[in-house]
Structure 1
Amino acid sequence: MRHTRATVMRTALRLLNEVGLDGLTTRRLAQELDVQSPALYRHFGSKQELLDHMAATMVEDAFAHLARPGPDQDWADWLAERGRALRRSLLTHRDGARLHVGTRPVGSQIAISNSVVEVLGEAGFPPADARRADLVISRYTVGWAVEEQAGAGRPVTEESRDAADADFEYGLRTILAGLRASLGETR
Structure 2
Amino acid sequence: MKLSRDAIVDEAIALLQEEGLEAVSLRNVAARLDAKAPSLARHVGDKQSLLALMSNRLFMGALDDVASGGPWTDWMVRFGQSLWRKQRVTRDAALLIAAAPAHIGSMEAIADRLSAQIGAVGLPPARGMMIQSAVQALVTGWTGFATGPQGGDIARLVEIDAAVDASLIALVQGFAASSDDL
- Give SS of 2:162's match: helix
Give the Å deviation of 1:181: 0.9
Does residue 1:173 correspond to 2:169, yes or no? yes
Unaligned residue ranges in structure 1 (runs of 5+): none
Aligned to 1:138: 136
Give the Å deviation of 1:29: 1.0
Aligned to 1:100: 97
- 1:1-187 superposed matches below 5 A: 1-69=1-69, 73-101=70-98, 102-104=100-102, 106=106, 108-119=109-120, 122-123=122-123, 125=124, 127-151=125-149, 154=152, 163-183=159-179
More helix, by proportion? 2
Describe the shift of the 1:139–1:116 C-alpha distance in structure 2 as closer, same or farther (beyond 3 A).
farther
Question: What is the Cα-based RMSD across aligned positions, in Å?
Answer: 2.5
Give the Å deviation of 1:110: 2.2
Distance in 2, matches of 1:155 and 1:176, equals 27
- Is the 2:67–2:75 Cα contact (8 Å) retained in structure 1? no
CA deviation map 1:74-129 (0-9, x unaligned): 21111100100011111111102221224325253222322244246x24x4x432
- Is the 2:20–2:92 Cα contact (8 Å) retained in structure 1? yes
Unaligned residue ranges in structure 2 (runs of 5+): none
Deviates more, 1:60-69 or 1:35-44: 60-69
Describe the shift of the 1:74–1:161 C-alpha distance in structure 2 as closer, same or farther (beyond 3 A).
farther
The TM-score normalised by the length of structure 2 is 0.84
Give the Å deviation of 1:145: 0.9
Q: How many residues align?
A: 176
Structure 2 counterpart of 1:95, which letter?
D
Distance in 2, matches of 1:142 and 1:178, equals 19
The TM-score normalised by the length of structure 1 is 0.82
Overall identity of the aligned pairs, in %:
26
- Give SS of 1:60's match: helix
